[in-house]
Structure 1
């Protein structure tokens, strides 16, 4: 069952205030050989992901830590699509199949964690940003 948590927050109910997307997130764990992670990501994961049909945008983040100290994660990579169907179609494409074939051994060794989710993008309206004078 999918629950729409936006119903509890009136500011998220307006179609003009949020854009619903579907994203696939990969979390890379910290390992002893971070060069191997960087190499795999830069030369395999990234180029294959960039070829996925229907990809709206992607976002890479280097994890700097967590509130209580160090994080067990090193890198996150998020791929955004218009819908779950668009994501599924992308994964059935040649680059999608190759991407999953290359990522699966990393997941089996618990070097990456991955998940997909509905995402809602909202314009913060300048909150928390310095305004230019």
Structure 2
């Protein structure tokens, strides 16, 4: 299994960010073909206290790299990417990881 990871830095307007993320972006992501699971984590802080560098983490799970690549190339994947760049392009760092151990 592989996952596409999105790490978001703190937005200036958290309320506006959250509203767009939940009402517009998440429904677009959920339409991506082959998506097995979407996991969204709101970062609470750093282990030693204080504010964490990131505000939110999203992990999108796919069966394998081919499924992820197909999803990203699909009309739904392109719509999700376009939306992401429009509302959070300057805030997001994207990575791909291979899940080597679950639960």
- TM-score for the superposition, normalised by structure 2: 0.89
Q: Distance in 1 between matches of 2:31 and 2:61?
A: 13
Q: Aligned to 1:121, what secondary structure does the other structure show?
A: coil
2:89 is the alignment partner of 1:74: no
Unaligned runs of 5+ in 1: 1-20, 124-133
Q: Which residue number corresponds to residue 3 of structure 2?
A: 23
4+ residue stretches of structure 1 with deviation over 3 A?
none
Larger Rg: 1
Write the mapping of 1:1-133 to structure 2, written as runs, cut at 5 A: 21-68=1-48, 69-105=50-86, 106-107=88-89, 109=90, 111-123=91-103
Quote the offset at 1:81 in angstroms. 0.2
Work out which structure has the larger RCO, using CA pairs closer than 8 Å and 6 or more positions apart in sequence: 2
Q: Distance in 2 between matches of 1:94 and 1:64?
A: 34
Unaligned runs of 5+ in 2: none
Quote the offset at 1:104 in angstroms. 2.2
Quote the offset at 1:32 in angstroms. 2.5
Quote the offset at 1:67 in angstroms. 1.5
- TM-score for the superposition, normalised by structure 1: 0.70
Spell out, residue by residue over 1:15-64, the C-alpha distance to the aligned partner (whole angstroms, 9 max, x if none): xxxxxx11001111112210121022112221011101111111011100
